[in-house]
């Protein structure tokens, strides 16, 4: 089947996903959903097939979300769907359906989960910023351990932490870095993020971290935490803010990184995770 994308040309993420689909030669069917909104049955089925909740699929930024009081937790799914059908801009974007499945492709890299195609090696975002693909790796992956040790990042608790660890590459197959998640229910500890020295300054962390956060979101996390001694300015650019250590939930405080391995001088940072 041809991929179907619910597209908003005014959205950078939507443009990037369409660009990826076209570059992969998939000949997508483009639905301008704000002009031709889905019917209720199609919207309900699409959200259900994506594995997300109705509330997860509400667009907040640049919409009447706040004016309509849609942050009220008492609102039912039916009431939220009514609002989305009345104001299609409230439907987050872009949804993509392929023969593999359905996903709300935020960040744009999520569309790689849905397509099986040879990608152009020079594929990037429409503004030239990099795209990355992720793959799960083991805690004792020798390249990961070497990369972390070279940057004096923690390795002693990799296995015991139960972290989900990933290697990242650009579409040309070149290594782009590593990153990991300690999943703690509604919270997640972001860790082991490292980009090769010869690839720094290329914007790779700006692709790696959002993709890590989406993986955490899909696992149930809604707040991300991290500890850093040297990279606070870089993470601030990605939306993280400093936090007092006492603000960390018990699950984060109980991690080895927080309780014993990271020095007291390390900066604690947090960020709400949303789509």
Active-site residues, by number, are: 11
The answer to whether the CB of 264 falls within 8 A of the CB of 221 is no
Helix 40-50 and helix 77-86, axial crossing angle in degrees, nearest 10: 120
Q: Is 257 exposed, middle or buried (0-12, 13-18, 19+ CB in 10 A)?
A: buried
Which tokens belong to 17? Answer: 């996903």
Helix or strand or coil: residue 75?
coil
d(CA 256, CA 275) in angstroms, rounded, equals 29
DSSP 149-184: HHTT---TTHHHHT-EEEEEE-TTS-EEEEEEEEEE
If you count them, how many residues does the chain have?
Answer: 275
Helix, strand, coil percentages (3-state) for the chain, rounded to 5, are 35, 20, 45
d(CA 45, CA 4) in angstroms, rounded, equals 14
Give the CA-trace dihedral at 44, 49, 50, 55, to 10 degrees. 30
The answer to whether the CB of 184 falls within 8 A of the CB of 270 is no
The answer to whether the CB of 44 falls within 8 A of the CB of 82 is no
d(CA 163, CA 160) in angstroms, rounded, equals 8
């Amino acid at each position: 089947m041809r991929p179907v994308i619910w597209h908003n040309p005014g959205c950078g993420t939507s443009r990037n996903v369409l660009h990826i689909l076209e570059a992969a030669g998939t000949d997508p069917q483009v639905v301008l959903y704000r002009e031709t909104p889905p019917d209720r049955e199609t919207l309900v089925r699409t959200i259900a097939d994506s594995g997300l909740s109705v509330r997860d699929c509400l667009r907040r930024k640049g919409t009447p979300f706040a004016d309509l009081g849609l942050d009220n937790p008492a609102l039912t799914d039916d009431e939220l769907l009514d609002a989305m059908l009345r104001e299609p801009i409230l439907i987050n974007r872009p949804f993509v359906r392929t023969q593999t499945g359905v996903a709300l492709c935020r960040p744009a890299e999520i569309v790689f989960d849905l397509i099986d195609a040879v990608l152009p090696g020079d594929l990037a975002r429409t503004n030239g910023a990099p795209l990355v693909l992720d793959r799960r790796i083991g805690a004792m992956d020798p390249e990961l351990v070497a990369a972390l040790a070279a940057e004096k990042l923690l390795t002693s608790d990799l296995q015991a932490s139960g972290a989900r660890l990933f290697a990242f590459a650009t579409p040309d197959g070149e290594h782009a870095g590593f990153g990991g998640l300690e999943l703690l229910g509604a919270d997640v500890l972001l860790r082991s993020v490292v980009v090769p020295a010869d690839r720094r300054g290329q914007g790779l962390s700006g692709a790696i971290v959002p993709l890590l956060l989406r993986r955490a979101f899909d696992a149930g996390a809604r707040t991300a935490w991290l500890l850093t001694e040297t990279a606070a300015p870089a993470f601030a650019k990605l939306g993280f803010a400093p936090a007092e250590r006492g603000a960390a939930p018990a699950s984060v405080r109980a991690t080895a990184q927080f309780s014993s391995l990271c020095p007291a001088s390390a900066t604690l940072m947090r960020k709400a995770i949303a789509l």
